[in-house]
Amino acid sequence: MSWSFKEVIPKIGTITEGACWNGSLLLFSNISENRILSFNPETNELNEIIK
């Protein structure tokens, strides 16, 4: 098996963690900025869910 990766969102500047896929969005946290973000791969939109 061979994996390939590509960058799809702009650099956020800090470490993110807790990635979770809900079937349509990738949700992840940015602990140092106390935020939860979502990424939609169909539209390439990055949104802040909670701050």
pLDDT in tens, 5-28: 888 777 777 888 989 999 999 999
The predicted model scores a pTM of: 0.73
Q: What is the pLDDT of residue 51?
A: 85
Count of CA atoms in the C-beta half-sphere (13 A) of 45: 8
Q: Is residue 27 a contact partner of residue 38, using CB atoms and an 8 Å limit?
A: yes
Rounded to a whole number of angstroms, the distance between the first and last alpha carbons of the chain is 38
